[in-house]
Amino acid sequence: MEDLRGFIDRVKELGELRVIEGANWDLEIGAVTYLAAKATNPPAILFDRIEGYPAGCRILSNPWSTDKRIALTLGLPLEASGLNLVRKLRDRLKEPLELLPPVKVKDGPIMQNILTGKDVDLFKFPTPKWQSLDGGRYLGTGDTVIVRDPEEGWVNFSTHRLQIHDQCTATIFSEAGKHFEMIRRKYWVRGQSCPIAVTCGGHPIFVFVGGRRIPWGMSEYDWLGWWRKEPVEVVMGPITGLPIPAHAEIALEGEMVPPGRESKTEGPFSEWTGHYTPARPEPAFKVKSILHRDDPIILAVLPFLGRSGNGHSIAHVNKAAQVWNTLDTLVPGIKGVWVYFELGGTIAVVISLEQKYGGHAKQAALAALAQMSYLTKFIIIVDDDVDPSNLRHVLWAIGLRSEPEEWETVKGMWGGSLDPRMPPQKKEAGDITHSAAIILACKPYHWIKDFPPAVEEDPELEQKVREKWGGMLL
């Protein structure tokens, strides 16, 4: 399987890599990353010769800020972009699922350096403090957190932010309802610490899979083997016995103690909502060994798309494809699905459909909301003459084809503490639910035939005019 270094080589071949030397881990790397994300075609950034650290100890940020690099990560055609990229991903997801378990190998690049005991030092790596109000340095933003269910025996991996506190202590933030959170609590109710391995650099496909809604009981390793059509090579962690990708860059091994035994203040952190999440106590992750390659590379996947950046993320492509595929099994006439990071992450889903019967639009909205409910606040339905990936088209439809008094809300949806709009009193009560709005921005079906026709340009005439006067106009 291609590793992070192979991915970087491919990005360089595409002309989408920039190397920055001499940056400081304290805010400067974050500032460069955010600035680069605002470009029209944002490059991936490889930081080297970071102040205070040896040359070769690097950080890759902005791996997914263009459609081409998203396609590269997923193994899809590089020319696919926009809604067509969503189509390519959903077509791939429709293929028969034949799980392919990982294979154990005795050695791999991750075993080039093994640190235990007094040699464990999380500050060995140029871990950035990304934003000024962040509570500390975050080694894990594009990481893979690996745990084993103590009752059922299957291995889960997922992506969660990881903050370092001292040489051998870190914290991992997780929301209620996530598989990692559910598994670690199984250990804690027994009074046991949860064995954990975390990789902090690897091929970006691991972060994509770690963020997907893989069914409970199905290992992400097996799913990734199917996706890549080859098994993942793993080594068994010397401390935890957990399977660790053999070609990862950095791996931390240890255990997360039960709440109340030892906690650290996690956060604040500049999250994907474009707001800082408040600090809170998290159980300590006691790191007992560090494995790393020579000249290791940290993978940084920053959630900066709340207000900054150009709206590209693998998460919005993934969610759109998943919703579209599910709707195809439940509702006829779906013509497109899009997710807008400009509206705050995966908060808003837009669905284009050809209305075929009364209630069709609302049926699609409710089906989508049930399928992807976590922090989904807006389901917008538009007609099939509206491109759901064109925000101007969508806003036009909301303004002129919707009636605000007909918008509906659904209460009690699955939320989380990352939601900046969650009232403090609800959090204190342990209620992390939120409401979701259904906006039917489409022609009313019961008088759809009488609805005024939209003004459409004649494509043939436009092409003739373009050929005749385009040089003067465009």
Confidence of residue 127 (pLDDT cuts 50, 70, 90): very high
Alpha-carbon distance of 237 to 254, in angstroms, equals 10
Alpha-carbon distance of 299 to 69, in angstroms, equals 14
Nearest-5° Cα angle at 397, 362 to 443: 50
Segment 197-225 shows an average pLDDT of 96
Q: What mean pLDDT value characterizes the chain?
A: 92
Share of the chain above pLDDT 70, in %: 97
Segment 346-366 shows an average pLDDT of 94
- Three-class secondary structure of residue 434 per DSSP: strand
The pLDDT, as a whole number, for residue 341 is 78
Alpha-carbon distance of 147 to 160, in angstroms, equals 12
Q: Provide the b/e sequence for 18-53 (b: ≥16 CB within 10 Å).
A: bebeebbbeebbbebbbebbeeeebbbbbbbbbeeb
Segment 160-166 shows an average pLDDT of 97
pLDDT digits (tens, 9 = 90+) for 46-88: 999 999 999 999 999 999 989 999 999 999 999 999 999 999 9
Closest CA to 439 of 401, 386, 385: 401
Alpha-carbon distance of 164 to 136, in angstroms, equals 7
For the chain, give every domain's residue range: 97-300, 314-447
CATH topology of domain 97-300: Pnp Oxidase; Chain A (2.30.110)
Both structure tokens of 448: 């759809």
Select the more confidently predicted residue: 455 or 450.
Answer: 450
Alpha-carbon distance of 187 to 318, in angstroms, equals 31
Q: Is the model's pLDDT at 307 over the cut of 90?
A: no
Alpha-carbon distance of 129 to 132, in angstroms, equals 8
Alpha-carbon distance of 379 to 124, in angstroms, equals 45
Alpha-carbon distance of 320 to 317, in angstroms, equals 5
Alpha-carbon distance of 331 to 350, in angstroms, equals 15
Alpha-carbon distance of 92 to 69, in angstroms, equals 17
pLDDT digits (tens, 9 = 90+) for 322-337: 999 999 999 999 999 9
pLDDT digits (tens, 9 = 90+) for 414-435: 887 778 888 888 888 888 888 8
Alpha-carbon distance of 222 to 145, in angstroms, equals 16
- Three-class secondary structure of residue 282 per DSSP: strand
Predicted structure pTM score: 0.89
Which class does domain 314-447 fall in?
alpha beta
Query: Which residues neighbour 179 within 8 Å (Cβ) at sequence distance 6 or greater?
Result: 156, 158, 214, 216
Both structure tokens of 357: 């019967």
Select the more confidently predicted residue: 271 or 279.
Answer: 279
Confidence of residue 154 (pLDDT cuts 50, 70, 90): very high
Number of H helices, E strands in the chain: 12, 25
Q: Which residues pair with 281 in a beta bridge?
A: 265
The pLDDT, as a whole number, for residue 37 is 86
Lowest mean pLDDT among 48-57, 240-249, 311-320, 343-352: 311-320
Segment 235-247 shows an average pLDDT of 97
Question: Do the beta carbons of residue 123 and residue 252 sit within 8 Å?
Answer: no
Confidence of residue 394 (pLDDT cuts 50, 70, 90): very high
pLDDT digits (tens, 9 = 90+) for 255-266: 999 998 999 999
pLDDT digits (tens, 9 = 90+) for 283-303: 999 999 999 999 999 999 986
Alpha-carbon distance of 233 to 105, in angstroms, equals 6
Q: Is the model's pLDDT at 278 over the cut of 80?
A: yes
The pLDDT, as a whole number, for residue 306 is 47
The pLDDT, as a whole number, for residue 308 is 55
The pLDDT, as a whole number, for residue 310 is 54
